[in-house]
Chains A and B, each alone.
Chain A
Amino acid sequence: QVQLVQSGVEVQRPGASVKVSCKASGYTFASYTITWVRQAPGQGPEWMGWISPDNGNTDLAQNLQGRVTMTTDTSASTAYMELRSLRSDDTAVYYCARSMLDGGTSRFDYWGQGTLVTVSS
């Protein structure tokens, strides 16, 4: 069965960096884009961007460009999201999701369990 398992809770100071991992199993990792979505407390989800594991191509949300890097290690079936220069408003649960691309549309059909990142001095 398809599973995405994320790394654990993170507490970081403002200005620091965080790197969240997402290990996939149960499917061919290189065949599906991985999307990163975050959700601040009490808010709706926010798309951060996605990465194609087969070629490393990314499409990142403009408001995060320059602070976020998405990478994959296909040998380990793992995706990574690194966010730098953390601010208090980066406090959120961060999710990875498998993206099914089909006939020009996309959908997030499997999700990781989420990683809480708290930014606090």
Chain B
Amino acid sequence: DIQMTQSPLSLSASVEDRVTIACRASQSIGSYLNWYQQKPGKAPELLIYAASSLQSGVPSRFSGSGSGTYFTLTISSLQPEDFATYYCQQSYSTPLTFGGGTKVEIK
């Protein structure tokens, strides 16, 4: 199975800060990497697919980059509604696997 490791586990940031979350795969997965946002008590929501493609309806302050084994999710200007937990997920091979999550909290 492909292991996905996110860092940091959590971070504190202020509104309008630029935030970057990292995700590493245990083997090369090309660009088969998705990012999700999850708020407490809610289902995850797709933000980015294929490493860098913005899902329809997602604000342009979210962006993704990377390939192979290292990926990043960047929020260019953090907004109050962005405080949540973020997960990466590889779609290269089954079993599909998720990272452990990064919780973004208010400073």
Q: Report whether chain A binds chain B.
A: yes
Q: What is the bound-complex CA distance between A100 and B53, given in angstroms?
A: 14
In the complex, whether A53 has a CB less than 8 A from a CB of chain B is no
Question: A44-B99, A47-B96, A107-B91 in contact; A95/B43 too (CB < 8 A)?
Answer: yes
Q: Are B44 and A108 in contact (CB under 8 A)?
A: yes
Q: What is the bound-complex CA distance between A100 and B46, given in angstroms?
A: 11
User: Per-position contact with B for A90-111: 1 when CB-CB < 8 Å, else 0?
Assistant: 0000010100101111111101
Q: Are A46 and B98 in contact (CB under 8 A)?
A: yes
Is the contact region of chain A dominated by helix, strand, or loop, or is it mixed? strand
Point out the residues of chain A lying under 8 angstroms from B43, CB to CB: 95, 97, 111-114
User: How many residues belonging to B are interface residues under a CB distance threshold of 8 Å?
Assistant: 22
Within 8 Å by CB of A107, from B34, B94, B98, B101, lies: B34
Point out the residues of chain B lying under 8 angstroms from A113, CB to CB: 43
In the complex, whether A8 has a CB less than 8 A from a CB of chain B is no
User: Per-position contact with B for A71-98: 1 when CB-CB < 8 Å, else 0?
Assistant: 0000000000000000000000001010
Give the B-binding residues of A (Cβ under 8 A).
Answer: 35, 44-47, 59, 61-62, 95, 97, 100, 102-109, 111-114
